[in-house]
Amino acid sequence: QREIQDVQQLVKETEENLQRERLEKIAESLKLLSDRQESLLKESDRFDLLLNEKGAWTRAQILSLTGFSRSQNGLAEETELVSSRDLDGLPVFMKTIGMAGRSMRDAAKLAERNPRTQTKGPPMSEKVVPAQKEALKRLGQFQNALKEEISQLASAGKENEPEEKQEKKPDEAKQNQSGGGAQDRKPPSIAQLKLLRNLQSDLYDRTEQLSTKFPDSKKMPEDARREMLQLQKDQREIGELLEILLEFNQRNAPQGVLQ
């Protein structure tokens, strides 16, 4: 029985170490993506400076905007790849990175300019920059949650170290041998739950802003109407995800875990 317990403990520690290493690699990738998004945001500011100085963009600058749009769209693809490739089993993180990628795509599309009719604007600060800042905000939220998740895994590893030298009670050993039932299933992390609630709060605030700005929904501009529909969709998805995770947490989490 003791040997079985030792093997189970070793497997548990190995899984936690692998998960921590996995998240650390994701954090490194995310830092690079954030830095590149910051650079594209500065590029938007540069385009607006040129517009303010001359009153219009030259044809060459419009062509540069086309390249800028492609770069922003390419960054969106790389960001979304992190979700599909690295975030399996972490639904809240997947949702957050997906929202960041969508904002990047919005910025890329909004940056496109017609060289014949849009040489005088609209400026990037009108719609492109807000979309870029939204993407950066989501990336920042994701980075903070990742740091907390990694820290929790590291702390859990330290807490488990003394258990190797402790004799477990017979009923605990029996539970380990039988698989332990629901208790072996890991509850959603506190970091994911906090992130989900932050997203929910952000979406609510943005919905309130749009509702205040356009109290008559029938007179709402088309772009604002599309944003409102997307906000409502995100709210439904996040609400459903939060309900599922909290229900699972209440059923399976040990004492002291966020409920």
Nearest-angstrom CA–CA distance, 52 and 82: 37
pLDDT tens digit at each of 259 positions of the chain: 677 766 666 666 677 777 788 888 988 999 999 999 999 999 999 999 999 998 999 989 999 999 999 999 999 999 999 888 888 878 888 899 999 999 999 999 999 988 888 888 899 999 999 999 999 999 999 999 888 888 877 776 565 554 444 444 444 444 444 344 333 445 557 888 889 989 999 999 999 999 999 999 889 999 899 999 999 999 999 988 888 877 766 665 554 444 4
The three-state secondary structure class of 251 is helix
Nearest-angstrom CA–CA distance, 171 and 175: 6
> Token digits for 14?
């190995």
What is the pTM (predicted TM-score) of this model? Answer: 0.78
Among residues 45, 47, 42, the alpha carbon closest in space to that of 65 is found at 47
| 191 CB burial (10 A radius; 0-12, 13-18, 19+) | buried
What end-to-end distance do the CA atoms of the chain give, in Å? 34
Nearest-angstrom CA–CA distance, 137 and 133: 6
Contact 145, 191 (CB under 8 A): yes
Among residues 83, 82, 80, the alpha carbon closest in space to that of 72 is found at 80
Nearest-angstrom CA–CA distance, 199 and 92: 10
Among residues 235, 230, 231, the alpha carbon closest in space to that of 200 is found at 235
Q: Within 10 Å of residue 169's Cβ, how many Cβ atoms?
A: 9
Write down the pLDDT at residue 166. Answer: 44
> Token digits for 77?
């693809």
Indicate left, alpha or beta for 180 from its phi (over 0: left) and psi (-120 to 50: alpha): left
Write down the pLDDT at residue 160. Answer: 55
> Token digits for 94?
């997947």
Counting Cα atoms < 13 Å in the Cβ hemisphere of 204 gives 8
